[in-house]
Structure 1
């Protein structure tokens, strides 16, 4: 059985057991954190930070969590909405006048957060993702692919630039700067959107699925929808220095399970964690407001979207390419985070769900 480091409440033994099972099945490395009431009941890690399996995963190892980053960017928007500086029902052009081009006058901020704005694809070169003015100007000039608000199509890369530029227009700070100053800083969370070079030595590079190499590209396999247009992101792109330094707020966040669970505990605990209040309870509840229910035309599957989060029964959260995920259970004040450097084929990847189910086992004992 894989060697698991860290600590956990005895009621939650199923969680490190599930982590060990994934490592025993061939994964390189991973970490899991479960917070209840803003405090850790599980904080464990294991395996290796490199594909060659020579560098053990450490307590402070960090990893690109891909689209789990979207939950951090959404939280920035929710904080601004709670302060009265951002109206989710307002036209995007109120804050970003250039965005009204090409028939987008009626696109609302909530459409950006719920993948219904009609701008799901990035049609530029990968290198332009690293240039914020270029990326946002390109999106401002694009025409929507459908009537905004009428359909959903997963904005896998574009959502972060769209929401992030609104944040920048309101605050004068990049989304990475705002997140660092207003969220991660006050909480003491080890998570960054735009990674400074001094943290490179802690990064566990992404490992492609068995049988794949670093040219493997993000897609939605098994989708009944037409393949997404635009530039495909390869594993090697995500492992590049340019990707780490850039702010790609839909996909380039770096952290560990502990930091993801800590930040999203704000949402699980009604806006306040460890004496730090970032949101009112009403501000948290905004995330629950259903914006779309139906088939996502990019993912080719049924979805429910709230304001920046996917809705799943009594929980909400989101997952990232390669397997990392976060799930929030507000009724139990619980946040569950799983991060890994080991990708699997999406159709075969149930690791995050298994971790969440193991956390629920522990929760039953805690509540019993």
Structure 2
């Protein structure tokens, strides 16, 4: 029996355990919509508590187990005024969770022998070989070891021009972190898009549709703002809309960020970035494959659900079992040079920086959006929302709680069997679905 809900969902007491929950639940928590297998009742109830009012925005949670959707729920508000409810086709800007999707595009091309992880990037993108970078491999880029994390003091105009950024990176020399893990917070996306453009002739925005959305039969995966005819609507980011000027910081930050010794600040800081996330969010009107992916939880979870299930989803071999078996990398406890904590980057995904928490791999973004796969349990989940700077400052901690509750539910569900939830949201068209699809 599925656990279903609507805006008039019935509220009943939860049992003390997952089996108790399965027996006692009659509807989703108040305000939560969608459906879920009852074994995941605790995860869904906790998710519902994260959005107590309009000032806390909205979000969605989706879980796949054995390649089947078992949780697809959403709640809260998609606008800053608290007037527009989150729906099945509401998507969030996922920030760095975008990197996991961009990396998956690369893997799809490797699968078809259009790329090779251990080949130099310059073999496919000749301009990239400038200033002694001819030996940097595709694997180095995916591991954030290319020594190109620094932005060099760029302004917001350059940030919004993907071709300018690709050309700048191709022409730049590597820095002192070449060969070492140094999180390429923004430059990662342009390195990957420059590479894939050289191979396919397509933009990363186009590849998100042909290599991800189409084969996965889901509308909810875009890079940048969805076209006007798409049913997907982007939730407004909740953050202060006024511009606060601090003269000292405005003077210091650009100079520090432009320094070759800037470290993490030089990888993240762009003057005027905050204004690009306000209003109608002009940050969405470009291709920034590290940060401006627009995703529903359902679609992001489906991508990782395929990876966790040996590459197989909906009767399609999205990626080969042999390939996804290589996505689990070795854990490292050596701090990343830019974010200080260990990230264990491997083939474009990262492991949890906290030992024992969040087994598996995926990618999280600033603010707390995440897509994650645990091949050991064949389970994947995605959590997306529209909070960035709001009264809720615990979203990173919430990820750990959600993951633990999802894993607990999945363990019991494996013994009892699960019910798949219905398909919510809008799929891609049959023509688009076939584009770029792999077959067994």
Q: Which residue of 2 aligns with 1:266?
A: 306
Distance 1:106 1:264 in 2: 31
1:353 correspondence with 2:393? no
* 1:1-368 aligned within 5 A: 3-24=31-52, 27-123=56-152, 124-146=154-176, 148-149=178-179, 151-189=180-218, 190-198=220-228, 199=230, 202-208=233-239, 212-213=240-241, 226-229=263-266, 230-231=269-270, 234-239=273-278, 240=280, 242-290=282-330, 294-312=334-352, 314-343=359-388, 348-349=394-395, 350-368=397-415
Native 8 Å contact 2:311 2:320 kept in 1: yes
Q: CA deviation at 1:177?
A: 1.0
Offset, 1:65: 0.5
Q: Could you list the per-position Cα deviations for residues 95-142 of structure 1 after superposition, in whole angstroms to 9, with x for gaps in the alignment?
A: 111111122122111111111111112232122222222111111122
**1:117/1:232 CA distance change after superposition, 3 Å:** farther
Unpaired segments ≥5 residues, structure 2: 1-28, 254-261, 416-440
CA distance in 1, matches of 2:108, 2:334: 27
4+ aligned runs moved over 6 Å, structure 1: none
- Normalised by the length of structure 1, the TM-score is 0.90
Does the aligned pair in 2 maintain the 1:2–1:21 contact within 8 Å? no
Q: Please state whether the residue corresponding to 1:304 is helix, strand or coil.
A: coil
Worse-matched range after superposition: 282-291 or 248-257: 282-291
Change (3 A) 1:322 1:311: same
SS at match of 1:156: coil
Deviation at 1:45, TM superposition (A): 0.6
| Kept in 1: contact 2:370–2:382 (CA 8 A) | yes
Q: Is the 8 A contact 1:193 1:247 kept in 2?
A: yes
Deviation, 1:286, is 2.9
Q: Distance in 1 between matches of 2:302 and 2:215?
A: 11
Cα-to-partner distance string for 1:192-240 (whole Å, 9 max, x where unaligned):
11323414982111112xxx556599x9xxxxx9542152573442354
1:297-320 CA distances to partner (integer Å, 9 max, x unpaired)?
110112211100002464001111
- Structure whose alpha-carbon radius of gyration is higher: 2
CA contact (8 A) 1:2 1:46 kept: no
* Secondary structure class of the residue paired with 1:322: coil
Question: What CA distance in whole angstroms lies between the structure 2 residues aligned with 1:157 and 1:106?
Answer: 22
Deviations 1:28-48 (A, max 9, x none): 111100011222111011110
Deviation readout 1:45-91 (Å, 9 max, x if unpaired): 11101121111111111110111110111001111112221111111
**Following the alignment from structure 1 to structure 2, what is the Cα–Cα distance between the partners of residues 347 and 155?**
24
Say if 1:30 and 1:340, in contact at 8 Å, map to a contact too: yes
**Contact 1:70/1:308 (CA < 8 Å) preserved in 2?**
yes
Distance apart, 1:348 and its partner CA: 3.9
Quote the offset at 1:173 in angstroms.
Answer: 0.9
Residue 31 of structure 1: SS of its match in structure 2?
Answer: strand
Report the RMSD for the aligned CA atoms in angstroms.
Answer: 2.5
TM-score by length of 2: 0.76
Structure 1 or 2: larger strand share?
A: 1
* 1:143 Cα offset (Å): 1.5
